[in-house]
Amino acid sequence: MTQPIVHITNLNLKYHHKPVLQELNWTIKRHENWLLRGISGSGKTSLAKAIAGLVKFQGDIEINFDTERNLAPTVHYVANWYQFKDLEGQSNFYYQQRYNKQATETTATVRAELESYGKKHQLQFSEAEQLLAALGFSDLIDSTLIQLSSGEHKKLQLVSALWLKPQLLIIDQPYNGLDKLSRHHLNLLFEEITAAGTTLILISNDKLFPPCVHRFGEISGGQLIEISANEHTLEFDEQESKPIPDFLKEAPVSSADSVIRMIDVNVSYGEKQVLKNINWEVKAGEKWLLQGPNGSGKSTLLSLITGDHPQAYANNLYLFGHQRGSGESIWDIKKRIGLISPELHWYFDPLATVKHSIISGFFDSSGLFREADYTKKTQAAELIDYFGLTEYQDTLLNQLPLGKQRLAFLARTIIKNPELLILDEPCQGLDQQQTQYFNKLVDELCKNGTTLIYVGHFETQLPACIEKRILLENGEVKSAGKILEPVLK
């Protein structure tokens, strides 16, 4: 009888001293491909890391590789996001650094990163080039790692994993940050690698999954329960809504009728033009969806609005009624904006507690470096309760499951009841319950006149209040205006 590739017996695992998995048993036979789901904090990532040998546990995990297969006899785990270092081995980046020319000169390119990886694992670079082309990533091969968006970082992770051809491949949140076409091409690549013999485990609450996946499990109460494909696509029980804090019921103070006005805006890096003749106006109270394929220029466009991109001064750009470069500081701009993005999360202070991370939203800082007054602390406490984070408020942010980290960032984003909300992939890492809960809050805030720019690739992760859409392609505006038809992803 053929040995299973994975056999887990009585697995017990704690996450920062808290029991997460208890007496868990699981057998994965060869040629089985699984999709695991579960609410945030249920232990999905911990289980994946245990199988990959990355965390300590009690119990037994038996991995049986097939020595006759022409596949790498290894377990390869792809994390939620890509953590990289500069050429000096440092990883203490800050958010605005990705737009700093000096920083790009000290960070490896995609090509160099892949060449190093290929040399380490004795792989043919031509195979990596085929994967880059399949995921629409070839044009960015000479970009530096710090310049990449969240979706582009995910593609780099996926290229490396698929290039390695491991016997067991575990991917945490495979579709995070990917546009519709990239998700389709990724599923085709999953079909190819599993047909060649790789066993695949995907960790995802998304309803999307490749045809090669035919086994489904849910982590609940520390146990793995096998479910059907139909059960996987069912919604989690809706989280009971609480009344939003009173301070968020007040209409934000509007400083101008036109919040954003761009006239023939262009951004280039050397010979590469990232934004081309952008004309766009966002009026106070409007709710916009910003969309476009990976690499279309969305992150760069947002960085001009938030004041983080130095080329804002070289363009005809008006924010809150003032032309950039006419005397207002970056802090004058930021005090009117609530921002969340995957990149801001990556580069945040790792030593900040949940409470301090949320309060830092008042000061637009990456961590809390000054004392907050009584009112600010009270508002933070209200949001901590609203998002169900009371028991974690004094815990370091990076010690929480990803979903709860994101909730803390969402609280940070709205704490000053800003005039403009910029929500860039805000629901990455959230389970369905948390996504629905947060989007209801966004809808409530927008009833009070908050201006919104929302970036999202998944229709199921959008708030109902969105009324307009701007679509970018290759750095140009393909369309902009009211949404008259179903939103395409």
What does the alpha-carbon distance between residue 213 and residue 35 come to, in Å, rounded to a whole number?
A: 7
Tokens linked to 205: 């609450």
What does the alpha-carbon distance between residue 315 and residue 324 come to, in Å, rounded to a whole number?
A: 8
Q: For the purposes of burial, counting CB atoms within 10 Å of the CB of 474, is it exposed (0-12), middle (13-18) or buried (19 or more)?
A: middle
pLDDT per position as a tens digit, 20-47: 999 999 999 998 999 999 988 899 999 9
For residue 244, give the nearest of 26, 77, 403, 450 by alpha carbon.
450
What does the alpha-carbon distance between residue 386 and residue 22 come to, in Å, rounded to a whole number?
A: 29
The answer on pLDDT for 177 being more than 90 is no
Q: What confidence tier does 92 reach under pLDDT thresholds 50, 70, 90?
A: very low
Q: Which of 72-81, 94-103, 139-148, 224-233 is most confident?
A: 72-81
Q: Give the DSSP letter of residue 139.
A: G
Are 403 and 431 contacting, i.e. CB atoms less than 8 angstroms apart?
Answer: yes
What is the reported pLDDT for 484? 59
CATH homologous superfamily of 246-482 equals P-loop containing nucleotide triphosphate hydrolases (3.40.50.300)
Cα of 110 vs its chain's centroid, Å: 19
Lowest-pLDDT range of 74-83, 164-173, 275-284: 74-83
Assigned CATH topology for domain 6-232: Rossmann fold (3.40.50)
Are 251 and 447 contacting, i.e. CB atoms less than 8 angstroms apart?
Answer: no
Average pLDDT, the chain: 88
What is the reported pLDDT for 351? 83
Per-residue H/E/C for 26-60: EEECCCCCEEEECCCCCCHHHHHHHHCCCCCCEEE
What is the DSSP pairing of strand 258-269 with strand 316-319? antiparallel
What is the reported pLDDT for 99? 54
What is the reported pLDDT for 96? 47
pTM for the model: 0.86
Angle between helices 402-414 and 374-386 (to 10 degrees): 140
pLDDT per position as a tens digit, 445-469: 898 889 999 998 777 678 999 999 9
In the chain, list all ranges with CATH 3.40.50.300: 6-232, 246-482
Q: What confidence tier does 308 reach under pLDDT thresholds 50, 70, 90?
A: confident
For residue 453, give every residue at least 6 positions away whose Cβ sits within 8 Å of its Cβ, in sequence order, or none: 282, 288, 290, 302, 305, 420, 421, 422, 423
Q: Which of 79-83, 147-151, 351-355 is most confident?
A: 351-355
> Which residue type occupies 399?
Q
